[in-house]
Amino acid sequence: MLMLLLSAVVHATPTIIEVPPGQVAPPGAAPLFRPAPRRAPKAFSALGLDRLHRIESGMVPTHFRAWTDPRGWPMATPSDPYLSWQWGLSNDGSFSEDAQAGADIQAFDAWDIETGSGVVIAVLDSGIAVDEPELSSLLWTNRGEIAGNRIDDDGNGYVDDVLGWNFAGNDASPTDHSGHGSNVTGIAAAQGNNGTGFSGVCWGCEVMTLRVLNNQDYGYYSWWSAAVVYAVDNGADVINMSLGGYTEDIPLCLALEYAEAAGVPVVVSMGNSDDDTPAVPASCATAIAVGATDVSDARATPFDWGGGSAYGDHIFLSAPGSVIYSLDRNPGDYRWYWSGTSQAAPHVTGLIALLKSMEPSLDADELRYYLSAGAEDEVGDPAEDTPGWDAYHGHGRINAYQSLLLLEADQADADEDGYSILNGDCDDTNPDIAPDAVERCDELDSDCDGSLLDGFSDRDEDGRPDCLDDLDGDGVDARTDCDDTDPNVSPDAEEIPYDSIDNDCDPSSLDDDLDEDGFSIALDCDDDDPERSPSAIERCDGVDNDCDAEIDEDAVDGVVLYAAPDGDGYGDPSQSRRGCAPDADWVEDASDCDSTDPAVQASSTWYPDFDGDGQGDPAHPLSHCGQPADYVANNADCDDQRVGPCDPKGGCSTVESQGVQLLGWAALLAVCARRRQTER
């Protein structure tokens, strides 16, 4: 973090701790610090309390443990040889004695999703080492400008600004003078997977170099404001400002607002004062202010040189910022690390660049969401890192992998309605909710326009459509209440006949005649069918046409049926009705003369029993309804004309048979008649 003292700006020459061969840096060693007062309104210390340290190649300092054996790298993990020193990217707990595994931004997993491309990071700092192989292939170039012709070819007000601009020297040479800018730039965007040096968080992004600090390590607000505007106007996607001061300045904050309006987030370091003194531009309303964490995920206090990460109500989140190895102003020199919130900010800047690589349309507010939603909370000192946002860690320490996962999920169309969260779907779990859906009267914003009122009235101006209100206080809102001004009308009410009101919202009243057949709902058995009413003619159609609760009775198109209650299949001609088809009780035959006796019907056959022996003569059957006198139902008599001794109980004896043969039937009957008369 670059610190400002307005009346007396304190700047410092970076103090180097030389580690002789065979030795390590002594524990607790404090670098020399030489203050040099300078009066300059709106001036800033370039390095302030950010400190620089150097180690000799092959040595193991107190702050880290180097890997000396070659390693293979799975998946998207880059092959850069000093990657193991970059604990902020991946911390396995071996960096130092107090290192905590997992206290990192989980960059290796994030790189399996995105390594960055097509995004320009503007770094406002002390410049960069333009010949550094880790950066040279990533430098942004102004394609509208021709180098060295001393002409402002693109008309942007800056001559020969091919690689950016030096606002401190007012020229086109953004070369680093201190190493601070190179360190910051390397953290954000050093070329990864190239077998050299380190890896930046977004190791496929371009870098726009804007030098805003002079050789005395301070800069003016006006330089910074102009650089912010330059970055926005020339295509930067994100701006890093690892610097700051303690004097409020409206123009500088307005420059940050200009960037915000253009969708370009500005990431600023909180400062290293170890207190809640607000720094500028970190305290500007639109700044993404970043605090620093150490290898154990605690707020970095003190740093290895002293001081500590500043805190306050303007902090947004935090990132690794203690003992951060990165590039130097001398190309190919990878022995330097810095500590401060200046190193925390570019971790966040690099993550924003990864997010923008995945989804270029993200604006500053959307980027803040993915940063904060993916951050890890409650990982530091419990007294400081409390649940949710707090003044020491903000929303937490960033986790690049989690932020990219969230964005990846929002890019998907989970409910397959043709829209994802990112292109307007406000609920990607419900296919009925999408930007092209029709707004319904419910508690949901169906068309995702932020309003429930589309096409609906809001008489009480509560932001909810009237159809969701219960205006008459009957316990039913207007979605189902057909008259929400009348408490006697609701789906729970009882219908009242002949009041011309649909009391129960069914949706008709009992005195309505919906089918216009002359009968209201109260009298009509089906008020949707004009062919059914109390005056309708019953027909053979399986329907109660005349509303008498009987189906097909006396149908006009039926047949005459006769009652057959005895079940003999023959009907009583005195009991008839019209029906559509015969059944067990009603038949078409009307020849039954006794409907109480199934054995008696018009087709009964009787046999004569003239000799009175109970046996009928089969030779003389008689069809008759009912049993005639001297007739029986059986036909078992072998000779019903014999007389013999005129014994009515006699059988067919030879004598009787002979009598019949001698006298004949007529004489025999006469004899029998006289005998019977005599016997009486």
| Both structure tokens of 390 | 């707090």
Q: Is 389 helix (H, G, I), strand (E, B) or coil?
A: coil
Distance CA 507, CA 526 (A): 14
**Quick count: other Cβ atoms within 10 Å of Cβ 21?**
8
Q: Please report the pLDDT score of residue 662 as a whole number.
A: 47
Class of residue 114 by CB neighbours under 10 A (exposed 0-12, middle 13-18, buried 19+): buried
Q: What's the rounded Cα separation, in Å, for the pair 500 and 221? A: 78
Lowest mean pLDDT across 73-82, 311-320, 376-385: 73-82
The two structure tokens encoding residue 478: 């207007």
pLDDT at 469: 63
More confident residue, 626 or 86: 86
Q: What mean pLDDT is predicted for residues 634-645?
A: 65
Least confident span in 134-138, 226-230, 390-394? 134-138
What does the block give as tokens for 36?
């040099």
Q: Which amino acid is at 655?
A: V
User: Residues 436-471: pLDDT tens digits?
Assistant: 888 777 767 788 888 766 767 666 666 666 666 666
Q: Among 242-246, 353-357, 438-442, 534-538, which stretch is predicted with the lowest mean pLDDT?
A: 438-442
Q: What is the pLDDT of residue 171?
A: 95
In the prediction, which pLDDT does 431 show?
A: 86
Q: Please, where in the chain does CATH 3.40.50.200 lie?
A: 51-410
Q: Are 380 and 298 contacting, i.e. CB atoms less than 8 angstroms apart?
A: yes
- One-letter amino acid at 506 equals D
| pLDDT level of residue 637 (50, 70, 90 thresholds) | confident
Amino acid at residue number 447: D
| Predicted local distance difference test score (pLDDT) of residue 501 | 72
Q: 354-376: per-residue pLDDT in tens?
A: 999 999 999 999 999 999 999 99
- Compute how many other C-beta atoms are within 10 angstroms of the C-beta atom of residue 336: 22
Answer whether residue 264 shows pLDDT above 90.
Answer: yes
**Bridge partners of residue 54, in order along the sequence:** 336
Give residue-wise pLDDT tens across range 558-587.
788 888 887 777 888 888 888 787 888 888
Strands 572-579 and 631-632: unpaired
At residue 12, does pLDDT exceed 70? Answer: no
pLDDT tops 60 at residue 73: no
d(CA 4, CA 47) in angstroms, rounded, equals 10
Range picked from 346-360, 589-603, 637-651 for highest mean pLDDT: 346-360
In this predicted structure, what is the pLDDT of residue 504?
Answer: 66
What mean pLDDT is predicted for residues 266-295?
Answer: 96
The confidence score (pLDDT) of residue 644 equals: 39
pTM over 0.75: no
Per-residue pLDDT at 398? 98
**Spatial contact of 379 and 386, defined as CB atoms under 8 Å apart:** no
- Across 191-226, b (16+ Cβ under 10 Å) vs e yields bbbeebbbbbbbbbbbbbbbbbbbebbbbbbebbbb
CA distance 142 to 234: 8
Structure confidence at residue 643 as a pLDDT band (50, 70, 90): very low
pLDDT at 275: 95
Q: Which of helix, strand or coil describes residue 266?
A: strand
Fold category of 51-410 in CATH: Rossmann fold (3.40.50)
Candidates 257, 579, 462; CA nearest to 571 is 579
Lowest mean pLDDT among 21-35, 367-381, 646-660: 21-35
Residue 24's pLDDT is 34
**Range with the poorest average pLDDT among 171-180, 248-257, 574-583, 646-655:** 646-655
The arithmetic mean of pLDDT across residues 313-340, rounded, is 89
pLDDT of residue 54: 40
Phi, psi dihedrals of residue 373, rounded to the nearest 5°: -70, -30
Q: State which amino acid sits at residue 458.
A: D
Which residue type does 491 have?
A: P
Residues with Cβ within 8 Å of 679's Cβ and at least 6 positions away in sequence, in order, are: none
d(CA 274, CA 194): 38
Average pLDDT of the chain? 78
Predicted pLDDT of residue 478: 57
Give pLDDT, residue 528: 81
What residues act catalytically?
A: 125, 180, 342
Q: What is the pLDDT of residue 407?
A: 95
Q: Does pLDDT of 281 surpass 90?
A: yes
Closest CA to 167 of 107, 100, 230: 230
What per-residue confidence (pLDDT) applies to 169?
94
pLDDT band at 2 (very low <50, low <70, confident <90, very high): very low
Alpha-carbon distance of 287 to 276, in angstroms, equals: 16
Question: Which stretch, 157-161, 557-561, 653-657, has highest mean pLDDT?
Answer: 157-161
pLDDT band at 428 (very low <50, low <70, confident <90, very high): confident
Residue 648 has a pLDDT of: 47
pLDDT band, very low/low/confident/very high, at 64 (cuts 50, 70, 90): very low
